[in-house]
Amino acid sequence: DTIANALERGESGTPTMVANGALNLDAPNIVNTGIVSSKTDNIDIATRAVGGLGTIAIGSSGGTYSALNGDINIGNSNLTNFDSIILEGGNYLSKNVNINAGDGAANGHVGQLTGQLRTSAREAHLGASTDNLQIGTTICTGDPTFFNAGGTITIQGDLIFGEAIAILASADVTDAANAFSIISTVGKSVNIVAGGLITAAGGAVGSNTASPGKQIIAGTVTVNGASSTGGNIVLGASNISTFNGTGGGDVNLIAFRGSTVGSGKVTVASVTTGSTGADSGDVTVIAGANTGVGINLITDLDSSGGATGGNVSLTTSQPTGKVTFDVFGNATGLFKAGKVIEASSITAPQLKTGGGNVLMKSNGVVTLDNFGTSTDSKVSGRSGGNITITANKVSILGAVSADGFDGLTGTAGTADKAAGAGTAGSAGGNITINTAVSHTATAGLLMTSRGGDGGNGGAAFVPPAASGIAGGAGGAGGAG
């Protein structure tokens, strides 16, 4: 049941297992305290395992798997929801690390991991202490938590999950200019943190090894302030979505400033947190950069939905707070903007909240680009969202609107009942712009906070050859 590459008691040296071609390790328990290597091909670990084994434990504290000309493949699709793959320490050096836990879980914390990490599982909670954790195409029906306590996370494939998502790095989180999708298919939250001081429960962090029992399956990962370097979220080609018919999830993008020049910035192509018939998720972006463009939304941010629109908060300030992520990707604690508002700028090409509020704070320039900013209500009875911008300078290049929603038409009359009155239109939201220097707007652009029109009265009932009962009264217009 166990394959061990380890020394006997009293022996010295480095235990070594080397194959010229493919190397297969098929056992539910693997122990490697030395070097396991394939010179020309893949290393396969438990790739023939049958479902129902329970735990496939790969204990490699102090050990290395090396397949520089191939991949490291772990597990297979036969594993059930009663099975789990646990990685305990060790270095994984290869082109790709492919983990397939089937309907089970994949968990652990390793040291150096040089290739793409590709995961298929019900849930995955994987961390590393490596210069650059490269996350390839990942599909999980459950919750994933990825963290790198020793550097950057590079996304190199679509990340599609059926629960909450946490991607945490002590340096950057980047898509390397490639277009990928980060999607929570069930409307749960997405948390992405760059430049955070990351600690795994039990102290298994910032090291090439991890002791048994320290993996995230049994513990938590905490972000508490900035790492020494800080980091950027650089997802300028990728989209983030928590859209779901029963309610969109929140999206939190947090970048800490550190000693690295230019750190603390957030760039993302697109964010969608809407819903077809329920409440949309909120979007919070906190960027600690004190120069340049701190927050850059490349195309659009849409938190509108079929019911209550999500609120949007964009702030250039060093984040504060201590937040702990559990094995389900859920967060305890809250990131907040610090007291000092930094001088980096905010650029937002298109914002749509469907009645949610928009708050922007910067000590630099806030630019609302030419595609427009709208907090217009999309639901009867809900006011337009408020827009509040505080900055050194504001530049408005597109239309801005915070309009209410029109009232509904009254019910039609019947033979024994008068038609109903139309409902009142909802009020427009407030638009407040505070600047220390100036604000400019392109000539001819509209900035509106219009109350919705009152609904029409219901249609009168008119019987044949007789006078009808009067129609309903029109509803009142909403306040602008």
Q: Are strands 116-121 and 319-320 parallel, antiparallel or unpaired?
A: unpaired
Query: How would you list the strands of the sheet with 221-226, edge to edge?
Result: 196-200, 221-226, 322-325, 331-332
**Beta carbons of 457 and 421 less than 8 angstroms apart:** yes
Structure confidence by residue, pLDDT tens digits, 463-478? 765 554 555 554 454 5
The domain limits of the chain are: 1-103, 121-363
The mean-pLDDT minimum among 62-66, 110-114, 198-202, 459-463 falls in: 459-463
Query: What per-residue confidence (pLDDT) applies to 445?
Result: 78
The amino acid at 308: T
Give the whole-angstrom CA distance, residue 34 versus residue 422: 78
Q: Which among 168, 347, 128 has a CA at the least distance from the CA of 255?
A: 168
Nearby residues of 329 by Cβ (< 8 Å), 6 or more positions away = 125, 143, 144, 145, 163, 164, 165, 166, 188, 189, 191
Which pLDDT does position 404 carry in this prediction?
A: 92
Contact 426, 399 (CB under 8 A): no
Q: How far apart are CA 47 and CA 180, in angstroms?
A: 28
For residues 50-64, average pLDDT: 90
So what's the pLDDT on residue 210? 21
User: What is the spatial distance between Cα 76 and Cα 98, in angstroms, rounded to a whole number?
Assistant: 10
Of 199, 206, 215, nearest in space to 58 by CA = 215
Q: Which two tokens stand for residue 187?
A: 């409307």
For 236-278, write each residue's pLDDT tens digit: 999 999 998 888 999 999 999 999 999 999 999 999 998 887 8
Task: Give residues with Cβ within 8 angstroms of 122, minimum separation 6.
Answer: 81, 101, 102, 103, 104, 105, 140, 141, 142
Question: How many Å apart are CA 91 and CA 97, to the nearest integer?
Answer: 11
Q: Partners of 70 in the beta sheet?
A: none
Q: What is the predicted pLDDT for the residue at 164?
A: 84
How far is it, in rounded angstroms, from Cα 316 to Cα 307?
Answer: 29
Cβ(401)–Cβ(395) under 8 Å? no
Contact present, 391 and 402 (Cβ < 8 Å): no
The pLDDT of residue 92 is 96
The answer to whether 372 and 292 are in contact (CB under 8 A) is no
Terminal CA-CA length for the chain: 74
pLDDT of residue 443: 67
> What three-state secondary structure class fits 122?
coil
pTM: 0.82
Strands (E), 321-466: 322-325, 331-332, 336-337, 345-348, 351-352, 358-361, 365-368, 373-374, 387-396, 400-401, 431-441, 447-448
H or E stretch at 457? none
Confidence of residue 214 (pLDDT cuts 50, 70, 90): very low
Q: Specify the pLDDT at position 457.
A: 75
